[in-house]
Structure 1
């Protein structure tokens, strides 16, 4: 039996030795553990009851189905599992190739040349392990609005090390905000503060998710950013950066992360404390059908931009395989 595990990764190879990875090494991901003769089946066929196992399946939100994407001898299909997480499929007997994937965030399981005996009933277990993904948290930029000239000190703590900052970051940024929105640090002025970093991410069902065609991307972004209350300059900066990257695809999957949800990428501490801290991240991927369970179109809510306030936006591209 030649069993290969293809780890689902993004933007590079994730090589840390997590507990989940140790379990992958310790237990087979595909195993036929019971076979019985069944002459009632048509000659040349066999039944296999697949038992799909993952700790995360039991945390599936109410109203969502567990979906398995699979292929048998290169013929692809989709399973919609009930709470038993099992499904019986009739296959041809003989050497058989299997491939299973539970969607973004899980390992892909491939079992090659499995010998399926004629006229048999079989039980097989398929083990899925949640996989972390490496993303580039790309171009988070921080703007200030203040009705008066104001000195500030801002600490940004990403979940991993910075890849780049501008201006240079030395434990914190310290400078002056002007009513024009300009930021002065060490006698230099900037329209915004910039940072990025490589981080670990796991795609999950979220409060929003959209499937947008190439032609709809720009109008969609304009609408959502206007809903959030970004200024024309902020919207232009956002769209001219992300728009070209998204419209390289015929259609895209999009998720927005706002406010406290952005703490998974970095935390912010500002002195004096702004009257409002508004944060907006966009995650997107070239569309494929495996992302259907993550769709939940919901318009963005308006940010509070009154008084001294801070706005941060950033994002990342996901790369998801098709089965």
Structure 2
């Protein structure tokens, strides 16, 4: 699991983010502050963050986790040719509610892992992800979108029921998270 968290408050303010992950954190940037159980930052409306532990500037909060077996129903989702993955992701991520900065960073991270596969099974996981990696954020955001993609390389096309995508509307203080994982048998 390799998610990033963007914070977009309506005004410059201190924000605390606590991640309650049901697994083991393997990497974070900025470093996850164990003393407070999270990150404490000054967030600006443009998404720029200043970490209060080291006063360095960041674009987002990154975390990577392990030791959590994600269960995904592989009978629904999407099966996409590897060579079509860029266009598919851009289209679906816009539909989900990501803006260019966010979907471009998502695609830059995930595309090299996916584009050379014959096909990719892709599902945007909802409750299974959020219940096992809940976030507590103070002050409480007005809107929060958590996009988590599970994918599996395939050698041939497999028919699956298409996944329904729910649109997201940003309002007020918005928190946007994207991440993903490769499914292994």
Q: CA deviation at 1:207?
A: 8.4
CA distance in 1, matches of 2:70, 2:63: 21
Q: CA deviation at 1:163?
A: 0.3
Q: 2:181 aligns with which of 316, 319, 323?
A: 316
Alignment of 1:169-180 (within 5 A): 169-170=32-33, 171-180=37-46
Larger Rg: 1
What number of residue pairs does the alignment pair up?
180
Q: 1:185 aligned to 2:48?
A: no
RMSD: 2.0
Q: 1:163 aligned to 2:26?
A: yes
CA distance in 2, matches of 1:257, 1:318: 12
Q: CA deviation at 1:206?
A: 6.3
Q: Judge conservation of contact 1:208–1:256 (CA < 8 Å) in 2.
A: no
Q: 1:228 aligns with which of 88, 91, 96?
A: 96
Aligned to 1:272: 139
Q: 2:169 aligns with which of 304, 317, 323?
A: 304
Q: Judge conservation of contact 1:213–1:251 (CA < 8 Å) in 2.
A: yes
SS in 2 for 1:238: helix
Q: CA deviation at 1:302?
A: 1.5
CA distance in 1, matches of 2:75, 2:140: 28
TM-score with structure 2 setting the length? 0.89
Q: Which of the two has greater strand per residue?
A: 1
Q: 1:287 aligned to 2:127?
A: no
Q: 1:243 aligned to 2:111?
A: yes
Change (3 A) 1:228 1:202: closer
Q: Judge conservation of contact 1:199–1:265 (CA < 8 Å) in 2.
A: no
Aligned to 1:143: 6
Q: Judge conservation of contact 1:207–1:298 (CA < 8 Å) in 2.
A: no
Q: CA deviation at 1:288?
A: 4.7
- Kindly report structure 1 stretches of 4+ aligned residues shifted beyond 4 Å: none
Alignment of 1:1-323 (within 5 A): 137=1, 139-170=2-33, 171-186=37-52, 187-205=55-73, 208-258=76-126, 260-288=127-155, 292=158, 295-320=160-185
CA distance in 1, matches of 2:18, 2:68: 21
CA distance in 1, matches of 2:172, 2:147: 19
CA distance in 1, matches of 2:181, 2:98: 19
Q: Judge conservation of contact 1:140–1:194 (CA < 8 Å) in 2.
A: yes
Q: CA deviation at 1:311?
A: 0.8
CA distance in 1, matches of 2:70, 2:7: 30
TM-score with structure 1 setting the length? 0.52
